[in-house]
Amino acid sequence: MQIRIDKNIPATMRDGTVLQSNVYRPEAAGPFPVLLTRTPYGKDMASSFVVDPVRMAEAGYIVAIQDVRGRFASQGQFGDNECELEDGFDSVEWAAQLPGSDGQVGMFGASYYAWTQWAAAMSQPPALKAVVPLIAYADHWEGAAYRAGAFEWGLMGAWQMMMAVSDLTRRAATTPEFPRLFAGLFQDLDQLASEGYWELPIAEFAPLAKVGMNFLRQHVDHDTYDEFWRNLSFRGRLESLGIPALHIGGWFDVFAQSTLNSFTEMQRAGQTVRLVMGPWTHVNQSAAVGDLVFGSGASLGLLGLRDDINSLHKKWFDWHLKGSTAPDIAAFAAEPPVRIFVMGDNRWRFAATWPLPETEYTPLYLSGNGAANTRSGDGQLQFTPPTDPSGVHDQFVYDPANPVPTTGGNLLLTPDFKTGPQEQTSVETRDDVLVYTGAPLGADVEVTGPVTAHLWISSSAPDTDFVVRLCDVWPDGRSYNVVDGVLRAKFRSSMTTPEPLTPGAVTAITVDLWSTSQVFKAGHQIRVVVTSSSFPRWSRNLNTGESSERTAAGVAAEQMVFHDAAHPSHILLPIIPR
């Protein structure tokens, strides 16, 4: 089939702002459904599309790729996310009226492109019939700008500097100092890991201030879950969406839990949804992720030798936009709605719901004799509750001037920080890290579902952070991160009303480690790590009780983790019977 590409096709929004799109269309007679994606990264940058627009046009779709407001060829001012709701509605209805359209629109795309799908869907344009949000967030507060109250400094710093590059380029003709500013911006970007991330206060971040673009200030000024964040959250609103959604995410993606939460909310409301979760990061959906290789079938390009990313989209849209009853579409529609990759076993499995209905939530308790510092300490894990007398604890000093470095995980930082599963020796040999390790397993143990840590702690500070990590220890001693989480302690009870700690008082906290699917193989050991930082992924808590983003002075904090009969600190594992 011959394909025609029309570039810079205008769409006028309700306020008169003109957004530009590239449109791929079959030369054959229509009408055809339209697939729309809306991007801040440039409609001409093919590497960011995820889906091949030519291949989808050959499959009988018109494909429109649009620059969002204020980016590249589109008019207006970028940065007001609330505009994406109105622009999403207007763009969908514009796409439905394109020459050759049959009036039905589907949306696709990853990350910010996925956010624009949710924004458009929330505005309920009549022509929107299906969406495929990939590595998506539906809530700016939890997991995008903040995580349990801790600022996502690594993600926000790197992303906003990359956005500043294209923003400055857009203003080149009207900026006499453009060559100097442009070169300086890239120099600052290259030095982000060694210098920029260490700047305090974060709100005054110099590399962005130099070029007149600093959305960080807006983010850190709203450091509780207030009206600003509620307006940018779709939590609790997806249940009434009524638009079929294929959710695709990765266990090591920065938005992994958002993908799972969005699917769960829609499924519980009885909507037509599917979930695909692979062992992927935000930018790597191959079979080799971090330090590990999960097998060829793990990649988004093969999906267990059943699909690739393009065929998966085609099946979804053929089902919902074309009403196809072809055998392959009928078989796809009949599949169980949950498709997840089980790491360790390195295989895909199907299920009816998430979390899996057979899940047995099992506590694994911290224990030891009070010297769990480093992997050489005496920290242990056991499936039986502790019987130790009151007061047994481990302790360490957290100094924000010397934080534990981010090593692997659900990251989107500069290339200096490797993503996914990474060997943890450099972290686990630090004295400010508590390490608890179980005995070698006699049989495989599958952990699939949400993981939480329930700790009794005390601190000398009125506010501090606790970071908890679940690791898989191989027989040769290598330790790989599986899933982790953070809690800024003043948010332990509420994200809207911070509550200081009482220094020295024993306090119960819960740390959400998000979710995973990992088989700890026989002979391996389960490990839990407790510390107070992962920098620069999360901003350093300065331990003063003041804003850790708007102030610069910090103090060291003395931290304690209790694990006695009265304070049975544990990690709650979602174990699947085998």
**117 in helix, strand or coil?**
helix
- Calpha distance 366→279 (Å, rounded): 28
3 state SS for 38-87? EECCCCCCHHHCCCCHHHHHHCCCEEEEEECCCCCCCCCCCCCCCHHHHH
Catalytic position from the list 67, 139, 253, 318? 253
Q: pTM above 0.85?
A: yes
Q: How many CA atoms lie within 13 A of 345 on its CB side?
A: 18
Q: Which two tokens stand for residue 215?
A: 């959305």
Q: Residue holding tokens 């609330």?
A: 82
- Residues 6 or more apart whose CB falls under 8 angstroms from that of 171 comprise 178
- Residues 6 or more apart whose CB falls under 8 angstroms from that of 440 comprise 475, 523, 524, 525
Q: Residue holding tokens 């037509």?
A: 272
DSSP 8-state assignment for residue 389:
P
296 is catalytic: no
CB 271 within 8 A of CB 245: yes
564 is catalytic: no
Torsional sign, CA 370, 372, 373, 377: positive
Task: Supply the pLDDT for residue 128.
Answer: 98
Task: Supply the pLDDT for residue 390.
Answer: 82
CB 188 within 8 A of CB 214: no
Q: Which CATH architecture has domain 360-576?
A: Sandwich (2.60)
Domain boundaries, the chain: 1-134, 146-229, 360-576
Task: Supply the pLDDT for residue 7.
Answer: 97
What CATH number was assigned to the domain covering residues 1-134?
3.40.50.1820
Task: Supply the pLDDT for residue 93.
Answer: 98
Task: Supply the pLDDT for residue 143.
Answer: 83
390 is catalytic: no
User: Helices 83-96 and 112-122, interaxial angle, to 10°?
Assistant: 80
Q: Which helix (H) or strand (E) holds 388?
A: none
**18 in helix, strand or coil?**
strand
- CB burial readout 524-542, b (16+ within 10 A) else e: bbbbbbbbbbbbbbbbbbb
Task: Supply the pLDDT for residue 294.
Answer: 97
Q: Which two tokens stand for residue 351?
A: 């299920």
Task: Supply the pLDDT for residue 473.
Answer: 98
Domain 146-229 fold: alpha-amino acid ester hydrolase ( Helical cap domain) (1.10.3020)
Catalytic position from the list 111, 258, 517, 569? 111
Task: Supply the pLDDT for residue 165.
Answer: 87
Torsional sign, CA 127, 129, 132, 136: positive
Contacts 24+ apart (CB under 8 A), 538-542: 538/147, 538/150, 538/151, 538/152, 538/153, 538/154, 538/465, 538/467, 538/486, 539/150, 539/151, 539/153, 539/202, 540/400, 540/403, 541/150, 541/400, 541/461, 541/463, 541/464, 541/465, 541/488, 542/400
- Calpha distance 295→318 (Å, rounded): 29
Which residues of the chain have a pLDDT value below 70?
A: 47-48, 80-81
Task: Supply the pLDDT for residue 45.
Answer: 84
Q: Which two tokens stand for residue 384?
A: 């039986």
Task: Supply the pLDDT for residue 169.
Answer: 84
Question: CB count, 10 Å around CB of 422?
Answer: 21
CB 400 within 8 A of CB 542: yes
Task: Supply the pLDDT for residue 46.
Answer: 75
What DSSP letter does each residue of 273-323 carry, written as one string? Answer: EEEEEES--SS--SSEETTEE--GGGSTTTTTTT--HHHHHHHHHHHHHS-
Catalytic position from the list 282, 454, 524, 570? 282
Cα distances from 237 to residues 8, 172, 381, 532, in angstroms, run 34, 40, 40, 34
Q: Which two tokens stand for residue 10?
A: 């205008």
Residues in the chain: 578
Q: Which of 478, 477, 374 has its CA nearest to residue 427?
A: 374
Residue type, 81: N
